[in-house]
Amino acid sequence: MALIQHMARENRTWGAKRIRGKVTYAGWNYYLGWTVVIENEGWHVILGHLCCGPSGKSSAPTGPSSINVGKGDIVQARSVVGTSGTTGSSTGPHLHFEVRKCDQEGQCRVINPKTVLLPGQDAPWLWESFSDSPPSRCLR
């Protein structure tokens, strides 16, 4: 059972039907490249390998980022947060999608996103691919 999803898609729009939260990190991570972390009620959703620049590839935090949100922003369901790509320690275009549940002491555990209800969701795994909206974007 995979706890972290790596969805290999190029030129895809990703979306969650009903989840919202506060952006607690939007920036560069050595392994995940351009990354966004969204938190809500102790749940952390991590989106990694977001696009950088027109080529969509980068192994260093250079050039423009496609991240459309900043730390402290409140995102609503279906908000565009960035474009998927191949940044950081990535071997091809994909979205790194990770869910963690953290307690008040900051101890976190990785949760299978296909089996959990995140705040505002009415069914698990509501992330889906929308291929009709170029360029590829990560929706939250």
Could you give the domains of the chain?
A: 4-118 (2.70.70.10)
- Cis check for the bond before 61: say yes or no (omega within 30 of 0): no
Give tens-digit pLDDT for 70-100.
999 998 877 778 777 777 888 777 788 888 9
Q: What are 16's strand-pairing partners?
A: 127
User: Taking the CA of residue 63 as centre, how many other CA atoms within 13 Å lie in the half-sphere pointing to its CB?
Assistant: 15
- The Cα–Cα gap between 128 and 140 comes to 10
Written as one string, the DSSP assignment of 73-125 is -EE-TT-EEE-BBEESS-SSSBEEEEEEEE-TTS-EEEE-TTS---TT-SSS-
Inter-CA distances, 115 with 1, 52, 88, 111, 112, Å: 10, 31, 28, 8, 6
Residue 125 has pLDDT above 80, yes or no: no
What digits encode the pLDDT tens for the residues 7-60? 555 545 454 445 678 999 999 898 998 899 999 999 998 888 887 665 656 666
Q: Is the pLDDT of residue 134 over 70?
A: no
